[in-house]
């Protein structure tokens, strides 16, 4: 059941967080996990015509969202990173993944997520370059101002030296002009749909902004 749902997330990003969370318990599932999976299946049965829409008249500007749920996984207190990338209004890439280490602050969790997003953006820029499209200062929208300041200026070493050095490459790309970190209000952070459960109104709002609509 989990394998089939993971396959379906390629066209239904609205179930990505729920499916990935259930997938963490595949090794030793309990009855409660089975009930959770059945709820996902009921949701899919209720929304069979939802799909991603790619309008022809959309712009071709590359922009991204990055977010993290600090300590949201109650089993080992690891945070969840999630990002989504758009070309204009068209969603072209998304992922939700538990971080490898326990973050000691919200800033660290958000900064690690932004680093993962930066790596994805660099790969996408290289792929699009093969088709003749060049992008500079691709915005990565983050709702944590401390993480944005950390990416722009790594002066406060006493508080940041414990963060693995591989995540600091984002500062190098900011200085080169490849990307830029942009602040976005939490209520407009589309990537929230990949990090934690949301109320129905917020979930429906972000689902529409991802480009999911009724396709007959």
| Residue 94, domain CATH | 3.30.420.10
Nearest to 125 by CA among 179, 55, 65: 179
Q: What is the pLDDT of residues 93-134, one digit of tens each?
A: 998 888 888 888 888 888 889 988 999 999 999 999 998 888
27/133 same-domain check: no
Give yes or no for residue 156 having a pLDDT over 60.
no
- Cα–Cα distance between 132 and 163 in angstroms, integer? 36
75/133 same-domain check: yes
E strand segments, 40-188: 50-52, 62-69, 80-87, 90-98, 138-142, 179-183
**What is the domain count for the chain?**
2
CB 105, CB 151: distance < 8 Å: no
β-pair type (90-98, 80-87): antiparallel
Q: 107 - beta bridge partners?
A: none
106/167 same-domain check: yes
CB 166, CB 186: distance < 8 Å: no
DSSP code of residue 111: H
pTM over 0.75: yes
Q: Which domain holds residue 30?
A: 1-48
Q: What is the pLDDT of residues 24-79, one digit of tens each?
A: 888 888 899 899 999 999 999 999 999 998 888 888 899 999 999 888 777 788 88
27/111 same-domain check: no
CB 142, CB 181: distance < 8 Å: yes
Residue 211 lies in a domain: no
Give yes or no for residue 3 having a pLDDT over 80.
yes
Sheet holding 179-183: strands in order across?
90-98, 80-87, 62-69, 138-142, 179-183
95/181 same-domain check: yes
Residue 201 lies in a domain: no
97/139 same-domain check: yes
What is the DSSP annotation of 193-210?
GGTS---HHHHHHHHHHT
- Cα–Cα distance between 203 and 184 in angstroms, integer? 18
Residue 139 lies in a domain: yes
**Tokens 């022809």 identify what position?**
56
28/122 same-domain check: no
Under the banding of pLDDT at 50, 70 and 90, the label for residue 7 is very high
106/132 same-domain check: yes
CB 26, CB 2: distance < 8 Å: yes
Output the pLDDT for position 159: 61
């Amino acid at each position: 059941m989990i394998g089939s749902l993971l396959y379906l997330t390629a066209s239904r990003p609205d179930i990505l967080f729920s499916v990935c969370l259930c997938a963490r318990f595949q090794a030793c599932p309990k009855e409660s996990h089975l009930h959770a999976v059945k709820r996902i299946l009921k949701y899919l049965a209720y929304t069979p015509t939802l799909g991603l829409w790619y309008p022809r008249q959309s712009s071709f500007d590359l922009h991204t969202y990055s977010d993290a749920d600090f300590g949201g996984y109650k089993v080992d207190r690891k945070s969840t990173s999630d990002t989504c990338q758009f070309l204009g209004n068209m969603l072209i890439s998304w992922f939700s993944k538990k971080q490898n280490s326990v973050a000691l602050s919200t800033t660290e969790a958000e900064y690690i997520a932004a680093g993962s997003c930066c790596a994805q953006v660099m790969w996408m820029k290289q792929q699009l370059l093969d088709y003749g499209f060049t992008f500079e200062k691709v915005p990565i929208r983050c709702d944590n101002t401390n993480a944005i300041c950390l990416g722009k200026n790594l002066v406060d070493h006493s508080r940041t030296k414990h963060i693995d050095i591989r995540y600091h490459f984002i500062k190098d790309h900011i200085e080169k002009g490849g990307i830029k970190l942009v602040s976005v209000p939490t209520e407009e952070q589309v990537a929230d749909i990949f990090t934690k459960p949301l109320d129905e109104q917020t979930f429906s709002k972000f689902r529409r902004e991802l480009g999911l609509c009724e396709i007959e």
